[in-house]
């Protein structure tokens, strides 16, 4: 049995935290797409961990963690991630397996990403510059280097040919890039040797066997639905399918094996990087959300743009993913606002609409809001939904009614323990 957990907004919804909270119910956690552009934060025992490539189930004793074929791996970042984790838990290596079919991010992929963004200037995507776009381009262009290639003597020939091609491409950009390719490659080769300590597997076979053995699997998404290459705010998206379909292609699992689809959203909205954002705030409320929510990118440290909750976008994401249950994150960040707003419709070229049009640029789309009364209590120490302020209950009830999907978890702080299960109510 497989459950899916994914973000419904523009990423950073709190996926890492919830995967960590839910892992005790699962035997296996498997990442299905994205790469080190992701930053998944977990907090427990007064410690904070940020994961980029490693699945967020890694801190649990009995879970196996799979990096699926849909993921792109930068060995250098992967090694740095493990170097930080091993002192906490030296059994980590044995709790991790990597798909042979996952693609590798070469140093030149990241350079190409930088060159492309520099050339775009003001119209840049706002990429994390981790080489994600160029690596997926090589995957679909059928030029990529895969983890399984590392098991053959010819891998360095393939690496050199691809890297050389990239260097020629970089030469075609009218931008200045300062790099030492020998040094970058030496670090890469060292990291590849380190990576061999992890078992490379045919992860689709591993997961099929696990399904036959009645194991419970949680598929962990990265980024968010509005960054999906097909359904996001193109071209301001990432280069993978972040939506439910991505779990099938990114792990080799069939759609009819998926049971629950857990959709994660913040009680408001954030976005990092460029692109349209209808409910974005440029006022004091926006500043308050950013400050109280500590909204800085977990991977790049960039400030996140903040705005009110957008139900039009959430409805769209719920439909595309087939979400069966919702988790609302960072409810505590809304404490202290006199009034809260929720976008229920868009004014699209003078018409009130409830669906996401082709282009949600502010030129065409303005949000239509419903106002709610806020609450002043600090809710970070609450342990039971019966203690929620009435105004928070009203906020939750309205969202559930509009989205026609139960909110099973309300998160009231970054720590593992600050997680309220509403099963008894919902
Ligand atoms: P992810 O990429 O979806 O895993 O999310 P990130 O880790 O990038 O961003 C979520 C941020 O919010 C992290 O800093 C978390 O520690 C933090 N966080 C998660 N849940 C809550 C919550 O309920 N309240 C507060 N205040 N912070 C939270
Ligand atoms: P998690 O998993 C938020 C954004 C970037 C940029 C766009 C393309 O932590 O939620 P890319 O590096 O993929 O070429 O960047 O996507 N982006 C994210 N935003 N959270 C993420 O991951 C993101 N991964 C990429 O900011 O706008
Ligand atoms: Mg993140």
pLDDT digits (tens, 9 = 90+) for 175-207: 999 999 999 999 999 999 999 999 999 999 999
Distance CA 384, CA 422 (A): 8
Phi-psi category of residue 264: left, alpha or beta, with phi > 0 → left and psi -120 to 50 → alpha: beta
Distance CA 270, CA 39 (A): 14
| C-beta of residue 240 within 8 angstroms of C-beta of residue 137 | no
- Judge if pTM exceeds 0.95: yes
Residue 92 CB less than 6 A away from ligand 2:
no
Distance CA 379, CA 385 (A): 10
Nearest atom in ligand 2 to 39's CA: 9
Which are the catalytic amino acids?
A: 12, 40
Give percent of the chain with pLDDT exceeding 70. 99
Distance CA 172, CA 111 (A): 13
Note the pLDDT of residue 424: 55
Give residue 297's pLDDT band: very low, low, confident or very high (50, 70, 90): confident
Q: Cβ neighbours of residue 66 under 8 Å, at least 6 residues apart?
A: 28, 29, 30, 31, 55, 96, 97, 98, 99, 201, 203, 206, 207, 251
Strand ranges for 8-124 from DSSP E: 28-31, 40-44, 47-51, 64-67, 72-73, 96-99, 103-104
Give residue 223's pLDDT band: very low, low, confident or very high (50, 70, 90): very high
Strand duo 28-31 + 64-67: pairing: parallel
- If you write DSSP's letter for every residue of 141-175 in order, what string do you get? TT---BGGGGGSTTHHHHHHHHHHHHHHHHHTSSS
Give residue 108's pLDDT band: very low, low, confident or very high (50, 70, 90): very high
Question: Nearest 5 degrees, angle CA 132-CA 133-CA 134?
Answer: 95
For ligand 2, the distance from its centroid to the CA atom of residue 12, given in whole angstroms, is: 9
Average pLDDT over residues 258-282: 98
Helix ranges (H only) for 48-172 are 75-85, 107-120, 132-140, 155-171
Distance CA 343, CA 362 (A): 14
For ligand 1, the distance from its centroid to the CA atom of residue 126, given in whole angstroms, is: 21
List the structure tokens of 133: 């776009």
Across the chain, mean pLDDT equals: 96
Distance CA 229, CA 243 (A): 9
Beta bridge partners of 340: 372
Distance CA 203, CA 31 (A): 11
Q: In what helix (H) or strand (E) does residue 2 lie, and over which residues does it extend?
A: strand 2-7
Query: Helix, strand or coil for residue 82?
Result: helix
Average pLDDT over residues 277-284: 98
- Of 80, 399, 138, the residue nearest 269 (C-alpha): 399
3-state secondary structure 346-407: EEECCEEECCCCCCCCCCCEEEEEEEEECCCCCCCCCCCHHHCCHHHHHHHHHHHHHHCCCE
Residue 276 CB less than 6 A away from ligand 2:
no
Residue 379 CB less than 6 A away from ligand 2:
no
Query: Helix, strand or coil for residue 307?
Result: strand
List the structure tokens of 149: 């290639």
Note the pLDDT of residue 187: 98
Strand duo 339-348 + 365-373: pairing: antiparallel
Q: How many helices (H) and strands (E) does the chain have?
A: 11, 20
Residue corresponding to tokens 């280069």: 239
For ligand 3, the distance from its centroid to the CA atom of residue 45, given in whole angstroms, is: 20
Note the pLDDT of residue 76: 98
pLDDT digits (tens, 9 = 90+) for 34-60: 999 999 999 999 999 999 999 999 999
| C-beta of residue 405 within 8 angstroms of C-beta of residue 326 | yes
pLDDT digits (tens, 9 = 90+) for 360-408: 999 899 999 999 999 999 999 999 999 999 999 999 999 999 999 999 9
pLDDT at residue 105 tops 70: yes
Note the pLDDT of residue 268: 98
Beta bridge partners of 270: 306
Average pLDDT over residues 147-153: 98
Average pLDDT over residues 4-28: 98
| C-beta of residue 89 within 8 angstroms of C-beta of residue 116 | no
Q: Which of 115-129, 197-211, 261-275, 296-310 has the lowest mean pLDDT?
A: 296-310
Alpha carbon 29 to its chain's center: 15
Residue of 234, 239, 273, 297 best suited for mutating to test ligand 2, as the one with most atoms within 8 Å of CB: 273
- Of 139, 121, 122, 123, the residue nearest 131 (C-alpha): 139
Neighbours of ion ligand 3 (CB under 5 A): 12, 39, 298
Distance CA 276, CA 57 (A): 33
Residue 264 CB less than 6 A away from ligand 2:
no
Distance CA 115, CA 134 (A): 11
Beta bridge partners of 146: 103
Higher-pLDDT residue of 355, 223: 223
């Amino acid at each position: 049995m497989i459950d899916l957990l994914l973000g419904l907004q523009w990423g950073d919804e709190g996926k890492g935290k919830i995967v960590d909270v839910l892992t005790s119910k699962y035997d296996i956690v498997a990442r299905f797409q994205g790469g080190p552009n992701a930053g998944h934060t977990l907090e427990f025992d007064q410690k904070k961990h940020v994961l980029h490539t490693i699945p967020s189930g890694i801190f649990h004793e009995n879970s196996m963690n799979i990096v699926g074929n849909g993921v792109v791996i930068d060995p250098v970042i992967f090694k740095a991630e493990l170097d930080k984790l091993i002192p906490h838990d030296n059994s980590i290596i044995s709790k991790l397996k990597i798909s042979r079919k996952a693609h590798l991010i070469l140093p030149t992929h990241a350079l190409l990403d930088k060159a492309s963004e520099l050339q775009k200037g003001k119209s840049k995507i706002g990429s994390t510059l981790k080489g994600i776009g160029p690596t997926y381009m090589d995957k679909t262009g059928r030029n990529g280097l895969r983890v399984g290639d590392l098991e053959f003597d010819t891998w360095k020939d393939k690496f050199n040919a691809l890297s050389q091609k990239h260097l020629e491409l970089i030469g075609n950009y009218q931008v200045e890039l300062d790099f030492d390719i020998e040094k970058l490659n030496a670090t890469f080769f060292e990291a590849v040797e380190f990576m061999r300590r992890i078992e490379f597997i045919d992860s689709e076979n591993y997961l099929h066997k696990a399904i036959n053995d009645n194991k419970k699997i949680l598929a962990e998404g990265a980024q968010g639905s509005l960054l999906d290459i097909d359904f996001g705010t193109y071209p301001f998206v990432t280069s993978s399918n972040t939506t439910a379909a991505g779990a099938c292609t990114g792990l080799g699992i069939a759609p009819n094996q998926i049971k629950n689809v857990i959709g994660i959203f913040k009680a408001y909205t954030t976005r990092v990087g460029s692109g349209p954002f209808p409910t974005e705030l440029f006022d004091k409320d926006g500043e308050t959300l950013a400050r109280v929510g500590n909204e800085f990118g977990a991977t790049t440290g960039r400030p996140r743009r903040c705005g009110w909750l957008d139900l039009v976008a959430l409805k769209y994401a719920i439909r595309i993913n087939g979400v069966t249950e919702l988790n609302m994150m960072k409810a505590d960040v809304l404490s202290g606002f006199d009034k809260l707003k929720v976008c229920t419709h868009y004014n699209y070229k003078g018409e009130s609409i409830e669906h996401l049009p082709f282009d949600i640029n502010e030129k065409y789309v303005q949000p239509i809001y419903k106002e709610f009364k806020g609450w002043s209590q600090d809710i970070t120490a609450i342990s039971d939904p019966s203690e929620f302020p009435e105004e928070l209950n009203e906020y939750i009830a309205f969202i559930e009614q509009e989205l026609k999907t139960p909110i099973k978890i309300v998160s009231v702080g970054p720590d593992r323990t600050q997680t309220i299960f509403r099963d008894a109510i919902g």
